[in-house]
Chain A
């Protein structure tokens, strides 16, 4: 109420108040520079800028506790994709590792260096595949 009375008696100050408030409010989201990572004896601790909590490196295949309850794992084969449904009905998928192809560099017989994602076909080495595929 005090603030309201103040604003009613001094309407010209509203823009200034809003400007100041906006600056303080916008600062953390636009001007935020806080990579909250910090080094401790060469071991880094990551802080989540949203929550301030320590970010624990997590395994990509480790389900959340809440997900375990309704974890309807579709593929149990090692190295295969894994699908499950979260408590709120979101369909989740961890693709098989082969979906993350390895980039390679190869020194080709013609002396060129070739870099890329070429994968070897049957009976072909990765080097042959990359050199055959083209590049520099």
Chain B
């Protein structure tokens, strides 16, 4: 009995070890492309706000961006760190309009080992996760740029509105929630984006998928989940000709996300935005080159993070909603504690304390132009990516040789003991 118990314990430990070692939270790594004293390294002193302990503008930006990355990283698994080439630049800003930022996959790949669906472009971060190795060794996975001018406080820039770098989703009136903006953009970077041509350019006509080096045109994995309910047989997009797809781009509300699990999940939380049970994709009658197809439809109620227009009610500390479902559909393996839809609190163990909502956290002179070069190095925020405690077997994850050795050792020991007993 004692021996049997010992064996069971050993096997249980091995299984547990294998499970724990084969799935890990994706680590989204901020690659700081800004120079000294600017952007993510801006040394302008600021007061901590809303759970963001940074005391310089650059530090607060880095903390908020890493927090946004971790909101996503705690929900998906990858044994390959995801590199986000990040910068704050002086982008366009006028009195009534400003660029906020953008993020997208740096590259797409098709034909790698471990690819679930052949002849399909996968965003690089996802391709790396599925292959269990870095496919493009020298490449970052996501490009992300945000507007530094919005921290100037100048009335000539969006009437003095500034970013809110708090982590609590409680931005004061007149501030722009950086966290939700960053999570939205980074979700595009993880693959919530279609590569279908929305305008005629560079030899691609509207409705066409991109061309490979061999001249073939391949759909992207996101577009494989789009179907048009208005057409006979309700085909998915890859089943359409480019001309049919060009027409379909504007066929909202009949352009939908085809996955049944996502539809079931959506039925439980949405009171609007479904068509025949499927979640609607944003496909307005006039193509909007920046937003058509690569977002949920604006009719979704309650609002979702990946709708094209923010309504101010999205708080990513409460989860990322149906975006989790879409990420899972296109191939991301969810962490054990992540759910579709994601409505739980961020998946973070060290949730920030509630902010005070005050507006006294701005720099004193209201001008946080990139300051003079500083010789002092900022402390770099190092945030544990603890994975949230989830343990799931990931068939795509790399196998750790340490576990193989342990497993072999245990099996040999059991075999030897059995032979001796016989």
Residues of A with Cβ closer than 8 Å to B? 3-4, 7-8, 11-12, 14-15, 18-19, 21-22, 25-26, 29-35, 37-44, 46, 48-50, 55-58, 60, 62, 64, 67, 72-75, 77, 79-81, 83-86, 89-96, 98-107, 113-119, 121, 125-127, 129-130, 133-136
Instruction: Return chain B residues, CB-CB under 8 Å to A77.
Output: 202
Taking a contact as CB atoms closer than 8 A, the residue among A15, A98, A105 that contacts B100 in the complex is: A105
Q: Is the CB of A99 within 8 A of B81?
A: no
Q: Is the CB of A101 within 8 A of B382?
A: no
Known: A60-B139, A121-B286. A127 touches B291 (CB 8 A): no
CA distance A130 to B176 in the complex (A): 16
Say whether B268 faces chain A, with CB atoms less than 8 Å apart. Answer: no
Known: A57-B140, A102-B99. A90 touches B109 (CB 8 A): yes
Counting chain B CB atoms within 10 Å of each CB, the highest count among A22, A40, A77, A105 belongs to A105
Instruction: Return chain A residues, CB-CB under 8 Å to B387.
Output: 30
What is the chain B residue whose CB lies nearest that of A48?
B81
CB 8 Å contact bits of B207-234 with A (1 = contact, 0 = none): 0001111110010000000000000000
CA distance A97 to B311 in the complex (A): 26
In addition to A25-B403, A42-B37, A62-B139, 10 A-B residue pairs with Cβ atoms within 8 Å of each other are A4-B416, A14-B10, A22-B17, A60-B140, A74-B211, A75-B202, A85-B213, A101-B294, A105-B98, A116-B310
Residues of B with Cβ closer than 8 Å to A? 2-3, 6, 9-10, 13-14, 16-17, 20-21, 24, 27, 29-33, 35-37, 40-41, 43, 58, 66, 79-81, 83, 85, 91, 95-112, 121, 135-140, 143, 158-159, 161, 176, 181, 184-185, 188, 193, 195, 199, 201-204, 210-215, 218, 286, 288-291, 294-295, 298, 308-312, 373-387, 400, 402-403, 406, 409-410, 412-413, 416-417, 420
CA distance A57 to B291 in the complex (A): 29
In the assembled complex, the CB of A80 is this many whole angstroms from the nearest CB of chain B, namely 4
Taking a contact as CB atoms closer than 8 A, the residue among A38, A57, A91, A105 that contacts B380 in the complex is: A38
CA distance A83 to B204 in the complex (A): 13
Instruction: Return chain B residues, CB-CB under 8 Å to A90.
Output: 109-112, 135
CA distance A33 to B384 in the complex (A): 4
Q: Is the CB of A100 within 8 A of B136?
A: no
Q: Is the CB of B193 within 8 A of A99?
A: yes
CA distance A81 to B84 in the complex (A): 20
Q: Which 6 A-B pairs have the closest CB atoms?
A: A100-B104, A101-B290, A33-B384, A116-B309, A119-B290, A80-B202
CA distance A102 to B242 in the complex (A): 26
Instruction: Return chain A residues, CB-CB under 8 Å to B24.
Output: 29-30, 32
Instruction: Return chain A residues, CB-CB under 8 Å to B112.
Output: 90
Q: Is the CB of B100 within 8 A of A60?
A: no
In the assembled complex, the CB of A118 is this many whole angstroms from the nearest CB of chain B, namely 6
Q: Is the CB of A33 within 8 A of B97?
A: no
Instruction: Return chain A residues, CB-CB under 8 Å to B203.
Output: 75, 80
Known: A99-B193, A118-B308. A60 touches B10 (CB 8 A): no
Q: Is the CB of B17 within 8 A of A26?
A: yes
Known: A22-B17, A74-B211. A105 touches B413 (CB 8 A): no
In the assembled complex, the CB of B189 is this many whole angstroms from the nearest CB of chain A, namely 9
Q: Is the CB of A99 within 8 A of B195?
A: yes
CA distance A33 to B99 in the complex (A): 34
In the assembled complex, the CB of A11 is this many whole angstroms from the nearest CB of chain B, namely 6
Instruction: Return chain A residues, CB-CB under 8 Å to B40.
Output: 44
CA distance A30 to B79 in the complex (A): 10
Instruction: Return chain A residues, CB-CB under 8 Å to B37.
Output: 42
Instruction: Return chain A residues, CB-CB under 8 Å to B373.
Output: 42
